[in-house]
Amino acid sequence: MIRISFDIGGTFTDCVLHDGAGGRVLAHKLPSTPADPAQAVLTGLDALLGQAGLAPANVAAVLHATTVATNAVIERKGAPTALITTAGFRDVLIIGRQKRYETYDLYLDKPEPLVQRRHILEVAERLAADGTVVESLDPASVDAAIERALASGRQSVAIALLHAYANPTHEQMVAARLAERAPNVPVSLSSDISPKFREYERTNTTVVNAYVRPVVDRYLGQLQDALKQRGFQREMMVMQSNGGLVSPALARRYPVRILESGPAAGVLMASLVGEAVGARHVITFDMGGTTAKLGAVDDGQPAIAPAFEVDPVRYRKGSGLPVSVPAVELLEIGAGGGSIASLDMGMIGVGPQSAGAEPGPICYGKGGRQPTVTDANLVLGYIDPGYFNGGTMPLDAAAAAAGIRQHIGQPLGLSDGEAAWGIHLVATGNMEHAMRLVSVERGRDPRRYALVAFGGAGPLHAARLARAIGIPRVVVPAAAGVGSAVGLLQAEPRIDVSATRLMRLEAASVPAMAELYSELERRARAELALLSDAGGVRWSRYGYLRYAGQGFEVHVDLPDGAIDESYPARAAAAFHDAYQRKHRYRDEAGAVEAVDWALVASLPRPPTGEWRFAASADQRQGRRNAWFPEAGGFVETAVMARASIGSQGIVGPAIVEDPDCTTVVLPGDLARIDASGHLLIDIARDRT
């Protein structure tokens, strides 16, 4: 079976083809064409098919990840949107949750809401917390609100009424009236988009959906047309933030679910690679120019969080717009190759300021004046100035050294190597702190995990991080440079539906639980009808549970099977285990309550077969000086292309160069290549 995928980012479009029969994987990376994204896609897919000697009609699946929705929010380039809400509560969206994202900064500003106050309109109605109608919907107020929305040129409408998660009727009545008056204006209902309690988060999630909907609709429509015209017969599937695929029809209706499309695919790639090397537990580490993203795969499944934030400020929690839809769990920190090193109180600090790609590190020669992590890695000999991006971008090592000397080395009385090492060490320490949060603090024992490192800078820092945290193995995937596109090929169609219902796990709750799950199944089946892929559905349940009275819930995979008298006890047992894993604490006697209940419907894909990544023809081998403090500083170090390592492996210190990333192998560690082409590093046991 031939499957093809493409990941459109701001700079590059990555295309990958996988032939399930022989396992062959082909990749092609080309510049994105933002004005007409389909252009780069078609060029890339043509190239792959040409190389494989195939035609579009041979392709059994076309899979896609995109940043279009996220970019529309970050750049505030969504559609002019109105919000209709319950009278008396127009300011919920602007008030937010009111907490400063920096306790010690009283001069900060809140994120700009996607809808200005003047476009937030009220309708007279009121529901109680259990969904009963306290005040019926006033039709005159509905007409007035719709009139104002249309008169002010709003092209998309969000409706978020208080307690609508418990009863969607009023929202549906407003939507029906709007459909009569303006059938072409898309409507997003909070009871449909994110039926959970906590009005700010639900309202904002609904507004984000409404705001990006026309943009995503147009984009996916054009892409579908272009693929069809080119002769692709299977409908494209789109990656969602939860790591599952959906049909374009669903993505166009629920674009808020595809915000984290690309990062989700990256984590899936790591799970695929983990599977290939026999690792069921994986920490993912994707480090690029400005940020590092950390995720996890537990027991073969990417970890999913119930919510995330879009467009955060300096990656601070609480600074972005909250979106309450399931997404792969990712911790993003401002630590990348472009992070700037500086001095404070005679000590080295790195980031969060970044030189980005423009002007970039000093060594890019594009006007950067402040030393960065990449400059340090160059001075340390980890990066070959003549082989950056496969040799397409020569780097100025002398300028990097001079910058480090001026800003760090001279003030501290350190040699160039020592100063660069200090920068490298502090950058690694920042990531170590983040990785501790993802692993130890969330109940993941590093000794059971493998670290899958990718992104331009990830493999360079991975071994140090693994040592610091105690992770025994690092994997640098083959084709890491097109990782998200590879991850797409691993995905299955998946739908998550959830509901808020605060309930204790006790016998009295059983009928309500059973009813809740049949309602969730009904909703999931309605969406499945819009998923074009047929096939047997696999159902699974999870929830967000806590000890009664707590305010933080933990993710719990709930048991399958009939919801009968034994169910509360079985669910509670699952909770106790999950809680103990995460917090190392267990209170068997404590009452347990569930806040959110979720049901997952996934459509298992056929086995993907073997994976054989095309090995680079590059057989380079050489030596250069690189800095390893355990060896006393600069030592002559073996440098080789992945293809020249061979199956017996090599013991560090060594540097492995791929065209898109460089891997540092520390003294005593063993690096080798497996049958699929992945680079494995076993961290020397006495070093972890």
Partner 1 sequence: MKRQDEIDPITLTVIWKGLLSIAEELGLTLRHTAFSEGVREGDDFSTAVFDAKGRMIAQGPFSPGHLGSFPYVVQAVLRDYFPPDRLRPGDGILLNDSALGSGHFPDTFQIMPVFMGERLIGFVCNSAHQVDMGGAAPGSQKVHGVTEAFQEGLRILPVRFIRGGEPDEDILRLVTGNVRMPDKVRGDLMAQHAANRSAAVRLEALFREQGPERVEAAYEILLDRSEASMRQALAKVPAGTYSFEDHVDDYGPETPPIRIAVDVTFDGKGEVTVDFSRSSDQVPAAINSYLNYTRAYAIFAIKVFCDALWPQNAGNMRPIRIVAREGSFFNPRFPAPSGGRAALQVRIFDTINGAIAQALPERAMGAFSHWSNPNIGGIDDRTGRPFVLYDVGLAGYGGRHDRDGVEGLSPVMNCSNIPVEVHETLNPVRVRRLEFIANSGGAGRHRGGCGLRKDIELLNSTATLSLLGDRHKFQPYGLAGGEPGALAETILNPGRNARTLPSKALLQIEKGDVVSFRLSGAGGYGPPGERDPQAIAEDIADGYVTPEHAAAKYRFAPAE
- What does the binding site for partner 1 look like in residue numbers (CB under 8 A)? 88-92, 94-100, 103-110, 116-118, 126, 128-129, 134, 162-163, 165, 197-200, 344-348, 412-414, 418, 421-422, 425-426, 429-430, 432-433, 436-437, 441, 502, 547, 549-552, 582-585, 587, 590
DSSP letter assigned to residue 77? -
Closer CB to partner 1, 89 or 634, in the complex: 89
- C-alpha R_g of the chain: 26
Phi, psi (degrees; rounded to nearest 5) at 125: 180, 165
Three-class DSSP category at 453: strand
Closer CB to partner 1, 195 or 266, in the complex: 195
Q: Over 634-678, what HEC string results?
A: EEEEEEEEHHHCCCCCEECCEEEECCCCEEEECCCCEEEECCCCC
Question: Could you tell me if 272 and 677 are in contact, meaning their C-beta atoms sit under 8 angstroms apart?
Answer: no
Closer CB to partner 1, 53 or 551, in the complex: 551
As measured in angstroms, the least distance from the Cβ of 627 to partner 1 is 12
As measured in angstroms, the least distance from the Cβ of 173 to partner 1 is 20
CA distances for 227 relative to 55, 64, 231, 535, 679, angstroms: 12, 12, 7, 24, 35
CA dihedral 308, 313, 317, 318 (to 10 degrees): -80
- Of the CA atoms within 13 Å of residue 279, those in its CB half-sphere come to 30
As measured in angstroms, the least distance from the Cβ of 348 to partner 1 is 5
As measured in angstroms, the least distance from the Cβ of 349 to partner 1 is 8
Strand runs labelled E in 512-602: 538-547, 554-558, 592-602
What are the b/e assignments for 507-546, b being 16+ CB within 10 Å? eebbeebeebbeebbebbeebbebbebeeebeebbbbbbb
As measured in angstroms, the least distance from the Cβ of 330 to partner 1 is 17
Classify residue 23 by burial, with Cβ atoms within 10 Å: 0-12, 13-18, 19+. Answer: middle
Rounded Cα–Cα distance for residues 387 and 504 (Å): 60
Continuous segment of H or E residues that includes residue 285: strand 282-287
Closer CB to partner 1, 433 or 624, in the complex: 433
Please state at what angle helix 416-438 crosses helix 458-469, rounded to 10 degrees: 70
Closer CB to partner 1, 240 or 430, in the complex: 430
CA distances for 404 relative to 287, 346, 387, 635, angstroms: 22, 15, 21, 20
Tokens coding 606: 């056929």
Closer CB to partner 1, 112 or 565, in the complex: 112
Tokens coding 6: 């493409």
Closer CB to partner 1, 428 or 602, in the complex: 428
Q: Are strands 308-310 and 321-323 parallel, antiparallel or unpaired?
A: antiparallel
Closer CB to partner 1, 130 or 565, in the complex: 130
Closer CB to partner 1, 418 or 557, in the complex: 418
Q: Are strands 24-31 and 59-66 parallel, antiparallel or unpaired?
A: unpaired
Helices in 342-457 by DSSP H: which ranges?
A: 373-379, 397-404, 410-412, 416-438
Please state at what angle helix 37-52 crosses helix 199-230, rounded to 10 degrees: 50
As measured in angstroms, the least distance from the Cβ of 255 to partner 1 is 25
As measured in angstroms, the least distance from the Cβ of 199 to partner 1 is 5
Q: Which one, of 86, 258, 81, lies nearest residue 156 by Cα?
A: 81
Q: Are strands 538-547 and 554-558 parallel, antiparallel or unpaired?
A: antiparallel
Closer CB to partner 1, 354 or 500, in the complex: 500
As measured in angstroms, the least distance from the Cβ of 295 to partner 1 is 18
As measured in angstroms, the least distance from the Cβ of 468 to partner 1 is 11
Closer CB to partner 1, 218 or 433, in the complex: 433
As measured in angstroms, the least distance from the Cβ of 213 to partner 1 is 24
As measured in angstroms, the least distance from the Cβ of 414 to partner 1 is 7
As measured in angstroms, the least distance from the Cβ of 85 to partner 1 is 11
Closer CB to partner 1, 189 or 270, in the complex: 189
Tokens coding 146: 């719709």
As measured in angstroms, the least distance from the Cβ of 169 to partner 1 is 17
As measured in angstroms, the least distance from the Cβ of 137 to partner 1 is 17
Closer CB to partner 1, 445 or 587, in the complex: 587
Q: Are strands 339-344 and 347-354 parallel, antiparallel or unpaired?
A: antiparallel
Q: Which amino acid is at 97?
A: R
Closer CB to partner 1, 44 or 417, in the complex: 417
